[in-house]
Structure 1
Amino acid sequence: MKLDSTQTLDKQFKPSGPLAGLDGPGFSWLKYADIHFNRVEGWYVGGENTFDSLAGRWTVRTAAGYGVADHRWKGSAGVEYLWDSDHSLTTGAEWFSQARAISDEGYHSSFSNTLTSLLGKNDYFDYYRVQGGRVTIGARPLGEVSVRASFGREVHRSARQTTNYSLFYAREKYRPQPLVEEGVMQPIGLSVRWGPEAVMFNLIPQNELQIDMEHSARRSTGGEFDFSRVLVRGQVRIATFLRRNLFPAQLTMRMSAGTSTGSLPLQRQFALETQSSDYAPLGVLRAARVKEFAGDRFVQFSAEHDFRSAFFLWIGLPYFYERGIETVAYATVAASSFRSRRMSIAPAVSGVYSEAGIGINRLFQLFRLDVTYRFRAPEGIRVTLGVAQLL
């Protein structure tokens, strides 16, 4: 793929190749389907839809499906009202009955997890059952600053493994599914975000900062849990050289940190996101094992430099630089710790972890290949594949 600065972004990134046909009318139903597989639900078959601008300012979201192995119906329904035309003030309510992933920051999708489960007997997530509802208030007080407050009532129950099925490795077993602390949780939440709306899987990194806070206490909010939890995530991109180009070389720095007080239940613990069966989305630890590190507090910092096609231009490989293939270098350091070991995500440990590596971005327009060295024992090199960063 050759990038021409005279083209519009729509033309430069217009779908092409074998995946372009998925945008046709014969596949339009896929955007409503929710079909996935995991060790708790087995095959889950369902659908979801969002109805925007009903009666002018109402938005309705619905989802429903059936778990074939756990024999349970699940679903959610929510409604949101927009008080003004620029969406600066919203109120909403939601009901849900679901099998939810523990400590899911959105790096891995249910689709990729279905593939790793069926092909490699590796279910990345841990799960718990939750039923309840919440009310929300959202506002945009300043430009790209958004605030959302919520109050909910949730009944938490442990989810148990119901199937050992996979296409291969029939004699092997899935990683154990942990039990959570059961009971009624009535949390108050507050989320503050600066930056444009996040792009799915961070395919287009952008400057942003988000702070998520959650508090649950028997005396003030009710329920059976006493804890407070804060999660901070930020990202900044800086152009370093080739600034006159359409896509200059970029340094991207990411930071995330979380802390808690009180008796943090297992289903609210922090787990450092990692590769899964050598699939590594942007932002995860590429050489760490699945659920290797967790805790009731953590910090993680990473720096990555995208040299664009400058390296291939410098060494004289036109096949690569004419197709926009890029080189990247990166390093990450992270640490997690437990104040209490009452319950934890097995087999997670605490401690300091670091890794560094190099990668090739935009292979066949779609993929990214990374070679990463981990400095914590057992030291070693891991090769991972991911989805390409677009900009």
Structure 2
Amino acid sequence: MKIHLLRSPELDAELFENVFEIVDKYSSPMKFLMHDSPSAFLDKEIIKEDFEKSQFRKKNSLSNTMFPETAFSMYLSLNEWRPEYPEKIEKVNWEAIFERCNTFRLQQDLSTFDRVFLLTDYSNDKNWFSAWDPKRSENAFVHAAQWEYFVPSDPRFPIAYEVMVVALQSIMFNTYAEAKLYFHKKPRGCVNDFCKDKNDIALKLRTADICPNCQTLLLERAVDPLMSRQIFQTLDDIRANMLFRERIKTTMQPSRLQISGKDKKIFFSDLAGTELKLGPLEKIVYLLFLEHPEGLHFTELSDHKERLTQLYKETGFARTVPELHNSISQLIDPTENSLSEKISRIKRKIVSVLGPDLAGYYIIDGERDGKKKILLDRRLLLNED
């Protein structure tokens, strides 16, 4: 089954890519694909309202006269923890959201087996976090903004959680009328908790689990066990990431960093094995700085030309000998900007993967004319050949 994730134009592209990286980690049997939405929301489709706390707390009911009983939602709610409320809120109605999904379906000539999920920053007229299309259950949306009012977390994780839960429920249930029979009004820490308030949502995210009754339902519905496994592996990873980031505030210890295999892949062991994907020259620069906890001056890199060349060969990247020597020579030449560019790219990728709070332990940084170093305690560095 293919799940097409559409980025609404107002949604930050980097956040969208970060969510995709999470949900597509185990890319079988469900395959996730990234796309931009066919069109932006028109000004006439955007509803601008003054913020009203009482309305923000509520999920508007879905009447049978407005829609058939074929939608699924996550309830928006609040507790006492929250940042400052906005003065204005911009919303779009469900019809406008699902029109984008259907336009994409027509353009791509998709089958009914394909799912299309639109991720948008705009709130919606029903005030739900996510929902199925009442007229076509293969379409859905996830509201990607305002998570800061519900959980103190990097937003990529609750957004990715919503994507996976909508995917699971789309293969568990056919209609909203059917699905609501299995909603848990009293929270159990199950993916099918109804979530009437923020604390319930926080519980769902912390457990990322499914209750025994719903497990039985999965078996009764003959849901593909490989799909179920993929979904719950991803939910487990989301949970692990969120809990580790929460606990680091008290443990003050960052994740272990694992260098694995002949190609020296780099993983954050305590963040569900999240991989740091670097280009060839970026990787050898990073590995060299890991080998020197005392730090290095840029002008010292010429002393490490042989080691950089060896690291390049060890990582298994294909390049001719002249190309390799030319790249290394540019890298270590203090009159070139190659090294600074690589370090800047490494920093951007680390911040993208970890967020700014955790990134400081792993980036290559230092005084302008001084040594650059990686702060990570090398006792947290694991080398596995």
TM-score tier, shorter chain, comes to under 0.3
- Report the structure number with the largest CA radius of gyration: 2
Larger % of helix: which? 2
Larger % of strand: which? 1
Larger RCO: Structure 1 or Structure 2 (Cα < 8 Å, ≥ 6 residues apart)?
A: 2
